[in-house]
A and B are shown apart, each in its own frame.
Chain A
Amino acid sequence: KNEVEQSPQNLTAQEGEFITINCSYSVGISALHWLQQHPGGGIVSLFMLSSGKKKHGRLIATINIQEKHSSLHITASHPRDSAVYICAVLSGAGSYQLTFGKGTKLSVIP
């Protein structure tokens, strides 16, 4: 079973700061998701990565397959970025079942 660890668990930042959230997993994967969970519980998929780096607006996600590690970066953070960010992995080819981290709660203060 894949173990997914995120750090930090909680993060408070001033508006405009550069933010990094980390995710490590224990077993080789076919893909990794970064998800954003809003206070009401709904989840939005931000990225799916199998290698390298992806960028969408102020969000950047990277993955190092050899080190079993991924990072989510937010540049020029804004209060509307306040949410829980969750890392989830797909463990095998053809598998659609996700293993989730516990999430990182981000609060961006104006």
Chain B
Amino acid sequence: SAVISQKPSRDICQRGTSLTIQCQVDSQVTMMFWYRQQPGQSLTLIATANQGSEATYESGFVIDKFPISRPNLTFSTLTVSNMSPEDSSIYLCSVPGNTEAFFGQGTRLTVV
């Protein structure tokens, strides 16, 4: 199993600013996923973060808007840059296990 500590749990930010979300895993994992859940929508994969290489972004998501760092096998950050109200969402990190997936507690972001 894996325990993921995600911070912050929530934040209210001014438009035009940036927020960095952190995920710390209690074990070494090769892959880490970042998801976004817009209000009333399903979770959507933003990118896959692999240690030692650049993140792989899904269609519709770009590195300039959502830069990701993965300095080691237990930690990753996602930055939401130059925020607008449309970025108000829940952001989640996740790691795969052998028999289940593990998720962070989520970051509820509100952009005003």
Contact = CB atoms under 8 A, between A and B. Distances in A.
Interface of A: 4, 33, 35, 37, 40-45, 47-48, 86, 88, 96-98, 100-103
A97 B33 contact: yes
B53 interface: no
A101 B33 CA distance: 17
Contacts of B42: 4, 86, 100-103
Interface residues of B, number: 26
Given A42-B105, A100-B42, 6 more contacts: A37-B106, A40-B108, A41-B9, A97-B45, A98-B45, A102-B40
A37 B90 CA distance: 11
A88 B45 CA distance: 12
Nearest to A97: B45
Interface of B: 9-10, 31, 33, 37, 40-45, 48, 90, 92, 94, 96, 99-108
Contact of B105 (A4, A41, A88, A96): A41
A96 B103 contact: no
Nearest to A41: B106
B100 to A, nearest CB: 4
* Interface of chain A: mostly helix, strand, loop or mixed: strand
Nearest to A47: B100
A40 B41 contact: no
Sorted from nearest, which 3 A-B pairs have the closest CB atoms? A41-B106, A42-B105, A43-B103
A96 B43 contact: no
Contacts of A96: 31, 33, 96, 101
